[in-house]
Amino acid sequence: MADTPRDDTGDTIAPEDGMATTTGAAEADAAAGTKEAAEEAAAAQEPGAAGESGVAEEAGAGAASGDGVSTSRVALLVVAWLWVAAPFLYGVYQLIRTATKLFR
Amino acid sequence: MGLLERSRTIAKPGWSRWLVPPAALAIHLSIGQAYAWSVFKTPLEKALGISGTASALPFQLGILVLGLSAAFGGTLVERKGPRWAMFVSLVTFSSGFLVAALGVATRQYWLAVVGYGLIGGIGLGIGYIAPVSTLMKWFPDRPGMASGIAIMGFGGGALIASPWSSQMLTAFGSTTNGIATAFVIHGVVYAVFMSLGVLLVRVPPPGWRPAGWTPSRAAVRKLVTIADVSAGNAVKTPQFWLLWVVLCMNVTAGIGILEKASPMIQDFFRGTPTPVTATAAAGFVALLSLANMSGRFVWSSVSDLAGRKNVYRFYLGFGAILYAAILLAGNSSTALFVVAAMLILSFYGGGFATLPAYLKDLFGTFQVGAIHGRLLTAWSVAGVLGPAIVDAIADAQKRAGHAGPSLYSLSFYIMISLLVVGFVANELIRPVHPRFHEPTAAADSAGGAGAAEPKDPSAEVPIESAVN
């Protein structure tokens, strides 16, 4: 059961962004012999397991450290959404320009 | 391949689930470019001296391969995980453009067809289904909204690509070199853009649930036991085939208008006091695209509140009424025609976007991506059926000397009938029989795809579903 992902304090992780992880269910999976689930749980506990991209390291660490890292997580959210929103808004703008032709 | 392994994508505590939708959008906004292929048709025809039929081949093959790769690759996507799938999509979609560029530059058109259609088509299919089950796991409380965001991206991809590609062709010229350069830039830019999705996507740790959410809170109306059904078993259930019919009918009804929107509105109002010019028709097509795209997000989000079955009742039932309204009004009101067509197209988009959540309700999250992939064969059939019906009937009516709304009246009666068939199929959908459910222990210990993805514990709890 030591492989089950958990936070520093116990069974239920309640990260800053308002999510919860019920690890009891994961333990039940591992107890039932879910080899792959247990491996994944172990992988989840490995430092950097989810953070190959760099950005993940920052955000993941954010749960455990101070405001500076929380800020970087917010920054990551902003960058990620801007990354997809900017071209999308360009497309919507072009579409609206075309659509107005119907009313001319 | 370590970076791409499923075990390396498990989110650490504190990872925000709101980072997953942009990851999905990075893929869907890219592969949605497929719907903007028409931008390249005329330049290719002029530069290579090919026919209109030939210039459509890369797109047609791409859509065919999309359906096939989604159907046959779905189980592999479930086993390997979303990052692997997104990476495969990135590599194939982008390299498809590069191979197509080589084909155009060397005037070997077959290479362009293989590049964009075959290689790129694999990227379309794998990329389309890649984020679906991951989003379902991150948003069990709002699965309709989550899949709606991603699938809206597929609609939005064409909005971006169409003006962007046109501007590029204007800048580089519509010669073979100009088109090849545009293809190379597309390949490189899409690879960079999609890489965000590959790097950002995460699967939730086993047992993760949104704060304050319990499966029983998914209750809306009818009590349904939601266990997990494998993709192999799902295709043996009547529910799968009823949903196949629902999707096929809904898409056929929408695509019939979408494919012929510009000539249709001009034909409808020709000779009336309010004729529609070709320029205005282009605006109408743009409005339909907007309705199609926004319907994907809006209606699938509504389905989280109203229930999947109810929202499909709305798409199919109200869709049939709208077609009837167009028939009754004829060419007396442009506004009615435009509004009704926009609503029908919003239902078309909504039908696509709500489907993954409907599948989750019926079959659980276990292999929902693979099941989704197999169901998309209905899209391939509808993609042929809808335009074939409308085009064949309009051509026959023209030969018979008809004009105006009568060119399309019979098509619209057929669309109403198809929507009624879809409505009935939706009514027949009941909870999946328990004999198709995965035995928990077997699913946990079995090899292959079934065991590769840890079962979502929430799915093992009998919950009240939003199916009805």
Q: How many angstroms separate the CA atoms of B42 and A64, rounded? A: 57
Distance from CA of B441 to the nearest CA of A (A): 7
Q: How many angstroms separate the CA atoms of B86 and B201, rounded? A: 9
Q: What is the CATH number of domain B2-211?
A: 1.20.1250.20
Structural domain total, chain A:
2
pLDDT tens digits, residue range B56-110? 889 888 888 998 899 888 888 888 999 999 999 999 999 999 999 999 999 999 9
In this structure, the answer to whether residues A25 and A42 fall within a common structural domain is: yes
A 60-99: CB under 8 A from B = 60-64, 73, 76-77, 80-81, 83-84, 87-88, 90-92, 94-96, 98-99
Q: How many angstroms separate the CA atoms of B46 and B74, rounded? A: 38
Q: Which of B100-109, B274-283, B452-461 has the highest mean pLDDT?
A: B100-109
Q: Which of A39, A102, A103, A104 to mutate to test the interface with B (most CBs of B within 10 A)?
A: A102
Distance from CA of B65 to the nearest CA of A (A): 26
Q: How many angstroms separate the CA atoms of A86 and B458, rounded? A: 36
Write down the mean pLDDT value for chain B: 87
DSSP string, B73-140: HHHHHHHH-HHHHHHHHHHHHHHHHHHHHHHHHTT-HHHHIIIIIIIHHHHHHHHHHTTHHHHHHH-T
In this structure, the answer to whether residues A38 and A64 fall within a common structural domain is: no
Cβ–Cβ of A99/B202 closer than 8 Å?
Answer: no
Nearest to B5 by CA among A25, A52, A54: A52
Q: How confident is the model at residue B222 (pLDDT cuts 50, 70, 90)?
A: low
pLDDT score of A68: 59
pLDDT score of B78: 84
In this structure, the answer to whether residues A59 and A38 fall within a common structural domain is: no
Distance from CA of B260 to the nearest CA of A (A): 16
Pair B145, B18: CB distance under 8 Å: no
Nearest to B90 by CA among B238, B191, B220: B191
Cβ–Cβ of B206/A26 closer than 8 Å?
Answer: yes
Q: How confident is the model at residue B383 (pLDDT cuts 50, 70, 90)?
A: confident
Number of H helices, E strands in chain B: 21, 3
| CATH architecture classification, B215-436 | Up-down Bundle (1.20)
- The stretch B204-221 carries a mean pLDDT of 74
Say how many residues make up chain B: 468
pLDDT tens digits, residue range B119-163? 999 999 999 999 888 898 899 888 899 999 989 999 888 889 988
Radius of gyration of chain A (CA): 21
- The stretch B350-365 carries a mean pLDDT of 91
Name residue, tokens 């590609």: B165
In this structure, the answer to whether residues A30 and A69 fall within a common structural domain is: no
* Amino acid making up residue B293: M
- Same fold for the pair B2-211 and B215-436: yes
Structural domain spans, chain B: 2-211, 215-436
Sign of CA dihedral B167, B170, B172, B178: positive
Q: Is the pLDDT of residue B468 over 70?
A: no
In this structure, the answer to whether residues A61 and A100 fall within a common structural domain is: yes
In this structure, the answer to whether residues A39 and A60 fall within a common structural domain is: no
Q: How confident is the model at residue A40 (pLDDT cuts 50, 70, 90)?
A: very low
Which residues on adjacent β-strands are paired with residue B210?
Answer: A19
Q: How confident is the model at residue B452 (pLDDT cuts 50, 70, 90)?
A: very low
Of the candidates B204, B290, B445, which has its C-beta nearest A33's C-beta?
B445
pLDDT score of B297: 93
Which residues on adjacent β-strands are paired with residue B209?
Answer: A20
Nearest to B408 by CA among B344, B316, B318, B312: B344
Q: How many angstroms separate the CA atoms of B350 and B205, rounded? A: 30
Q: How many angstroms separate the CA atoms of B458 and A32, rounded? A: 16
Q: How many angstroms separate the CA atoms of B460 and A29, rounded? A: 11
| Residue A45, phi then psi, degrees to nearest 5 | -85, -15
Chain center to CA of A100:
39
The ipTM of this complex is 0.81
More confident: B344 or B464: B344
pLDDT tens digits, residue range B36-71? 888 898 899 999 999 888 888 898 888 889 988 998
pLDDT tens digits, residue range A74-91? 999 999 999 999 999 999
In this structure, the answer to whether residues A60 and A77 fall within a common structural domain is: yes
In this structure, the answer to whether residues A30 and A4 fall within a common structural domain is: yes
DSSP string, B39-65: HHHHHHHHHHT--HHHHHHHHHHHHHH
Q: How confident is the model at residue B263 (pLDDT cuts 50, 70, 90)?
A: confident
Domain enclosing residue A59, as ranges? 55-104
Q: Return the DSSP state at B315.
A: I
Of the candidates B202, B209, B286, which has its C-beta nearest A95's C-beta?
B286
Q: How many angstroms separate the CA atoms of B137 and B203, rounded? A: 8
Q: Which residues contact B156 (CB under 8 A, 6 or more apart)?
A: A88, A91, A92, B28, B29, B32, B293
